[in-house]
Structure 1
Amino acid sequence: MLRTAVGGLFYWSFLALSATLGICFMTVPQLPLLLISPRLFRNTVDAFVSYYLMFVVATMELLYGIKFVISGDKIESIPGADNLIVMNHRTRLDWMFFWCCLYRHSFKSIYNLKISLKSTLRHLLGLGWATQFSAFIFMERSFDKDKHILRNMLHYYRRVRKDINLLFFVEGTDKTQTTTQRSHAFADKNNLPRYDYVLHPRVTGFSHTMQLMSQGNLDSLYDVTVAYKHTIPQSELAILKGQFPQEVHFHVKRHKKEQLPVEDEALQDYCKELWKEKEEQLREFYTGDKRTLYSWGDQHSVECSQLRRFWLVLCIIFWISATVLSVYLILTNSLVFYYVLASCLGMAIVSRYGLDTILAKL
C-alpha cells in the first residue's frame, strides 16, 4: 500500500509536516544563539537536522522497503578536516538517497553533511527551511555568482570551526532527456565523446571548488557513483505517484588530497577522467551481467548493522510521536497555534533573502 500514489502523498506530506513543526519547536527557539554563540548555534542545529535526516533514512529503508547497496571506501569525517564529495546526478532525489549511504558510514559523516542545491529549493515548505538552517549552499547556476556564494559559505564554516562533507554535483543538473541532449551538443561542439549514463561535468566549477577547499582543511575527495535498479524516480513527482526505487546502489572511491593535482587545468582534466570512468562503470551496471556497482573495482560492501537499524526505529518512534503531539497542541492551544503561525510567517519572509545568506554575513 505504501508504494502507491496514496503512499507517495503520505510520504511527502508527512516529511514536510514533520520538518516544519520540527523547525518551529526545536530550531526557531535556538535563533538567539546566533548572537550569543554562532558556533554553538551551528552545532546544535546540525545535530537536530542530523536526527531528522536519520528519520528520512528510516522511512525509506524500514517503511518503504528501499534496498541500499553501498560499496567501496568509507567516508571518514576526521576532526579538523573537510571532504569534498562529487557524484553523478541521475535524478533530482540523489542527494536524499545519499543520506542512507552516509548513515552507514558514520553518524559524524551525516552530521557534517552540507549540500550544494539550486537556489529555488530554499523556498520549499519545511524541507527548504531546514536546508537553510543547515547552511546548505544554494547555487544560482551562474559561475560569476556562484563563486562568491561558495567562497562566502566556506568562510562561514571556517569562522564557526565547522568540519564539512560538501556534496557537490559537478554536472550542475540531473540527467533527463533534455539535459542529455544538451550534453551531447556540448560534446559534439568540443570534440568529446557522447555519454549515455552521465552528463559531461562542469569542470570549471569543480576546479574552483577544489582550490577553495584546498586553501582550508581539505582531507579527501570522494568520488561517488549512484545507480538505480529497476525503477528510477526522476523527480519528487515520481515519488508522489508511488514510484519508489527497489534498489539504490552507491560506490565510493576515495582520493587523498596528496594524490590530487593542484593547477586549474590539471584539476579539470582529473574531473573529466573521473566522469569517463563513471560512464564506463554505469554502462557495465545497466547493460552487463553483473548488476552491482561493486563488481567494478573494490568489492567491499557496507551493510546496515543491527545497532544502526535500532536507532532508525527509535527515530521513527520519536518523529511520529513528536509530530502527532505538536499537531494536538496546535489544535487545542491557541498560544501554540499563534506561535507556530508566527514562526512559519517569519521563515517565509526570511526565505526571500535566505537564512543561509544571513548566516554567511554574521
Structure 2
Amino acid sequence: MELPSARGTLFCVLLFVSSLLGSIFILMPFAPLVYIAPRLWRFCADRFVGYWLTFPASLCDFIFGVQFHVSGDLIERGAPALIIMNHRTRLDWLFFWNALYKMDPWLLITEKISLKAPLKLIPGAGWAMGCGAYMFLERNLENDMHVMDTMITYYSYTNQNYQLLLFPEGTDRGARAAFLSDIYAEKNSLPKYKYVLHPRTAGFIHLLQLMRRRKYIRYVYDVTVGYPNGMVNSEVELLMKGRFPKEVHFDIKRYDISEVPLDEADAAAWLNKLWREKERRLEHFYTTNEPFAPSGARLLWPVETKGIGYYCAFLFWIISSCIWIYFTYTMFLVKVYVVLSCLFYVFCQKRYGGFENFAVEVMQRRYGIAIKGTRY
C-alpha cells in the first residue's frame, strides 16, 4: 500500500475506533442521566463529544500538516446562533472543527451540525453524533422541517446555547449538483455560479423563523470556506487516496439577528445577496491566490496552533482506545457490556430513529413538555 493511501486509511481507522469505543465506554455509562436528569445529560454529553472532536482536529493539524487560516469575527459560544457556510466539499464540517478550536476550543462543545441522515447509521461516530444531539436531515423539505422543529425546541429546553451549522446549498458542489444549480439559474434568469451553488432558501427561512419564535438566536454567522491548493471531495477519496488539503481558509462575518429581515421574502433575498457576494469573493480568492480579506472585526488567528491541547487529546484517545481494546479482548464481562451497549444504540435507532430522538422523548416525559413535531 502506498503511503498516501495508508495515511488516509490510518486517519479513518483512528476516527472509527476512537468514536466507537468512546460511545461505548464514555457516553454509555452516563446514558442513565437521560432519564434521571436530562439537562445534566446534555451538559455531560456535549463535553464528551466536544472533547472527541479535538482528536480529528489534532490529526489534521499536527499529524497531516493541514494549515488552517481563520479570519473575521469571533463566534461567541455563549449566544445561540445560526452558522451558514458554502458547501464546497463533503468534509467542510470536519475541517471547520479546526477553525472553531483556533477561535475558542469551547466552541467544539457548543457547535451543532445539520448533517445528512444516513450518517447517523455509522457505528460509533453516528451514535456519538446522536448523543451529541446533532440535527440529521433527509433533504426532504417536509420531513426536514419536522426535524428542525423538534431539535430547536429541544435545544431551547436544555438551558444550553448552541451554534447550529447549516449548509443552505443543501449539498456539496459536486459535478451533478453544479449542473442542477445551473439549470435552476437558467429557469429563473439567475447568474450561473462557478464557486458556489444557488442556496435553497426554504429550509433556511423555516429554521431562521423557528429560532426567532423560540427566542433561540442572537446572531447569524456567514462563513466562507476556500481550498487554494487542492481539496478532498469526499470520505472515500480521503480513505482510498489519503489526500488532505494543504490549506483551508475560513472567513467569518457576524450579523446581529436584528440585521436579518423579518419578512420571509426579504430574508430569502438577503441570503441570495450573501451568496452573490460569496461567489465574488471566492472568484477573487481562486484567481488571485490571495487570502480572504478579513470580515467584520478583521481578526486574524495564527496559522500555527500553539499549546498542548491537541497533544493531550491525541494521547488521551490513543491510550484510552488501547486500554479499552485490551480489556475488551481479555475480560468476558467487558465483552458482554460492549455487546449490550451496541445493541442499545441499535435499538434506539430502530425504535426512535436515533439516540437524539430517544433523548427528546424522555425530556418530554420527564418535564411534561410538548416538543412540537416529535414523531418517529
Structure 1 length as normaliser, TM-score? Answer: 0.95
CA distance in 1, matches of 2:316, 2:249: 28
Structural mapping, 1:346-357, within 5 Å: 346-352=344-350, 353-357=353-357
Aligned CA distance change for structure 1 residues 105 and 82 (closer, same or farther; 3 Å): same
The answer as to 2:254 corresponding to 1:254 is yes
**Structure 2 vs 1, CA of residues 251 and 31 (structure 1 numbering), >3 Å: closer, same or farther?**
same
Q: For residues 269-348 of structure 1, what are the structure 2 equivalents within 5 Å?
A: 269-288=269-288, 290-294=289-293, 299-303=298-302, 309-348=307-346
- Cα distance, 1:349 vs structure 2: 3.0
1:313-359, Cα deviation, whole Å (9 max, x unpaired) = 11111110000111111111111112112212221232232111222
Q: Which residue of 1 aligns with 2:126?
A: 128
Residues 230-288 of structure 1 deviation map (CA, whole Å, 9 limit, x = unaligned): 12100001111111110000010000112111110010000000100100111111112
Q: Secondary structure at the match of 2:173?
A: coil
Partner of 1:226: 225
Output the CA distance in 1 between the equivalents of 2:360 and 2:185.
37
The alpha-carbon distance between structure 1 residues 304 and 76, as it changes in their structure 2 partners (threshold 3 A), is farther
Q: Which amino acid aligns with 2:154?
A: Y
Please give the alpha-carbon distance, in whole angstroms, between the structure 1 residues aligned to 2:269 and 2:196: 16
Distance in 2, matches of 1:137 and 1:2, equals 37
- Mapping of residues 56-95 of structure 1, within 5 Å: 56-78=56-78, 81-95=79-93
The match for 1:12 is 12
Aligned length, in residue pairs: 358
Alignment-derived partner of residue 214 in structure 1: 212
2: CA distance between counterparts of 1:121 and 1:163?
Answer: 24
Cα distance in 2 for partners of 1:2, 1:43 equals 43
Identity %: 37
Aligned twin of 1:100: 98
Q: How many angstroms does 1:361 deviate by?
A: 2.4
- Are the structure 2 counterparts of residues 201 and 106 from structure 1 closer, same or farther at C-alpha, using a change threshold of 3 Å? same
Secondary structure in 2 matching 1:6: helix
Correspondence for 1:112: 110
Is residue 2–residue 64 contact of structure 1 (8 Å, CA) maintained in 2?
A: no
The residue number in structure 1 matching 2:44 is 44
Question: Is 1:144 matched up with 2:142?
Answer: yes
Q: Deviations over 1:39-86 (max 9, x none)?
A: 0000100000111001111111011111000011111122xx311000
Identify the residue that residue 163 of structure 2 maps to in structure 1: 165
Letter in 2 for 1:39: R
Q: Distance in 1 between matches of 2:12 and 2:251?
A: 27
Q: Is the 8 A contact 1:4 1:243 kept in 2?
A: yes
The Cα of 1:119 is off from its aligned counterpart by 0.7
1:311 is displaced (CA, Å) by: 1.0
Gaps of 5+ in 2: 363-376
Using the alignment, how far apart are the partners of 1:304 and 1:54 within structure 2? 17
Runs of 4+ in structure 1 displaced over 6 angstroms?
295-298
Q: C-alpha distance in 1, partners of 2:81/2:320? A: 33
Q: Distance in 2 between matches of 1:298 and 1:193?
A: 30
Deviations 1:100-152 (A, max 9, x none): 11111112322111111111110012111111010101111111111111011
Q: What letter corresponds to residue 190 of structure 2 in structure 1? A: L
Q: Could you tell me which residue of structure 1 aligns to residue 243 of structure 2?
A: 243
Query: For the residues of structure 1 that align with 2:290 and 2:6, how far apart are their CA atoms?
Result: 30
Match of 2:153 among 138, 152, 155: 155
Q: Secondary structure at the match of 1:4?
A: helix
Residue pair 1:198, 1:279 contacting (<8 A) in 2 also? yes
